[in-house]
């Protein structure tokens, strides 16, 4: 299946979007958190638990630091 011009354009626009870039950075942080917490627990804690824990305990601080970067 090949990508159409519109699909390529949408992908290009999304890649340039600061909101999308922030989403990707936040997702990366959640995945790191999931890995670390799973290692501590000795088993996979699952994405949903990692997501909710990270939002409750780390998101505000992460956003402040992430947005203050030049």
Task: Convert the pLDDT of each residue in 14-52 to its tens digit.
Answer: 677 888 888 999 999 999 999 999 999 999 999 999 999
**Range 50-60 average pLDDT:** 96
For residue 28, what are its two tokens? 């990366």
pTM for the whole structure: 0.74
Q: How far apart are CA 56 and CA 59, in angstroms?
A: 7
Confidence of residue 68 (pLDDT cuts 50, 70, 90): confident
Looking at beta carbons, which pairs linking 49-55 to residues 24 or more positions away fall under 8 Å? 54/29, 54/30
Q: Supply the pLDDT for residue 44.
A: 98
Q: How far apart are CA 10 and CA 8, in angstroms?
A: 5
The answer, yes or no, to whether residue 3 has pLDDT greater than 70, is: no
């Amino acid at each position: 299946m090949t990508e159409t011009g519109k699909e390529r354009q949408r992908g290009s626009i999304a890649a340039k979007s600061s909101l999308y870039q922030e989403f990707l950075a936040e997702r990366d942080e959640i995945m790191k958190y999931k890995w670390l917490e799973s290692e501590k627990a000795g088993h996979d804690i699952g994405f949903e638990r990692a997501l909710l824990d990270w939002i409750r305990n780390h998101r505000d601080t992460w956003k402040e630091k992430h947005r203050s970067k030049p």
